[in-house]
Structure 1
């Protein structure tokens, strides 16, 4: 089973950066040039670029182009792991999700690295809009090792994954999180019912089971005016 075209392009661009052809801070070629180089539509190329932006590998500068991202100052978050469903329900609201895509496929290089998978292993990649009392709160792309969830029903993984794992005897361990600010591109703005360019909080998280196995690599974009992070130390 081959990866989607945009994931293949994602991999080629990441390999180009890893090989040093494009250095940190370099502006990469324009979308039109890259779409011709890869022989794909601008839409497909843009999806590959956006995936790399969501992962923090590339960054867009309005009016200037897209650049290889510079390393940002980070502070490790040390709070316990809590699912979206638990967070929303703890505030007396109803959590729900709308699945945009649900695909068993070959992982990207980034997904394979984050989930510590070997060559040939498959993943489940799903895109979801997540709601609190029917108000869209975030757009999420979650990648899970297929071996871990292959015996579960789709509804068990696409509604409340953490609850499903715990009900099946698996204990959630720790998470590594990175949070940054960005603005909503057109596709995400449509999903979240906000204006293009609205303030977005972007979370990248890798979550592990208590035995140390990473089971989830998620890229989430929250509507800035509808959600805030609170960390107690």
Structure 2
């Protein structure tokens, strides 16, 4: 004898059906938990379980202090070749933008020096940015670049369209090495990305090279888990 379907699964399915039929559209804000619990005749705890399951699946987007919305498709990055964040977002038909939090020239850390093959006397540009797709925060990143590579470029040329700036000045971008891991958002990062502290994030470390195999950019990024996904293509 099969077990009865949990109540929260039934609510999950009903909300999902409303999205699939177009009754709820991408970007729509859902009614409050109180209103939905009354509509479905369940406790707020049961309703919250259904909503969280949909959020975990990437179907709904829970925004701290704002409410719950029907998600757009996750931004996807194909793990082959080297592509800038701007190109990835534009390739999805979305509008990319960024907010620079810090931008300064400093001595590199030991790991930055090793990754970028620098000497102890070299300087680097280290900048923190929040990257957006259609004004929705997607990731927080820390990028480190050898200072001598960007000393003749303006801040805007580096922060807004760095790869394009390099190519315009005769540099040829080569391959990149990427390492991905899962983690939980800290309080600081969760505030930057409008997410709950402890929510799942994807950490990406990427080292990118010029065509001559010289490393020129070391980036540590943290992506909102339910707004971004990586996929491999052989």
TM-score, normalisation: structure 1: 0.66
Q: Name the counterpart of 2:89.
A: 88
Q: Name the counterpart of 1:65.
A: none
Displacement, 1:128? 0.1
- Is the 2:101–2:128 Cα contact (8 Å) retained in structure 1? yes
User: Are positions 1:135 and 2:160 aligned together?
Assistant: no
Q: Name the counterpart of 2:233.
A: 232
Distance 1:185 1:116, change over 3 A: same
**1:173-195 Cα distance to aligned partner (Å, 9 max, x none):** 01111000000000000000000
Structure 2 distance, partners of 1:160, 1:121, is 24
Gaps of at least 5 residues in structure 1 are 1-76
User: Are positions 1:109 and 2:127 aligned together?
Assistant: no
Q: Name the counterpart of 1:182.
A: 183
Count, aligned residues: 157
Structure 2 distance, partners of 1:220, 1:133, is 19
**1:50-77 Cα distance to aligned partner (Å, 9 max, x none):** xxxxxxxxxxxxxxxxxxxxxxxxxxx9
Q: How does 1:67-82 map to 2 (within 5 A)?
A: 79-82=80-83
User: Superposition RMSD on alpha carbons, in Å?
Assistant: 1.1
Structure 1 stretch displaced more, 126-135 or 163-172 = 163-172
- Is the 2:79–2:230 Cα contact (8 Å) retained in structure 1? no
> Stretches of 4+ moved more than 6 A in 1?
none
Larger Rg: 2
Displacement, 1:161? 1.1
Displacement, 1:78? 6.6
SS in 2 for 1:208: strand
SS in 2 for 1:229: strand
Q: Name the counterpart of 1:119.
A: 120
Q: How does 1:45-64 map to 2 (within 5 A)?
A: none
SS in 2 for 1:228: strand
User: Are positions 1:161 and 2:162 aligned together?
Assistant: yes
Displacement, 1:164? 1.1
TM-score, normalisation: structure 2: 0.66
**1:3-53 Cα distance to aligned partner (Å, 9 max, x none):** xxxxxxxxxxxxxxxxxxxxxxxxxxxxxxxxxxxxxxxxxxxxxxxxxxx
Structure 1 stretch displaced more, 209-218 or 160-169 = 160-169
Displacement, 1:118? 1.1
Structure 1 distance, partners of 2:94, 2:79, is 25
Structure 2 distance, partners of 1:195, 1:78, is 27
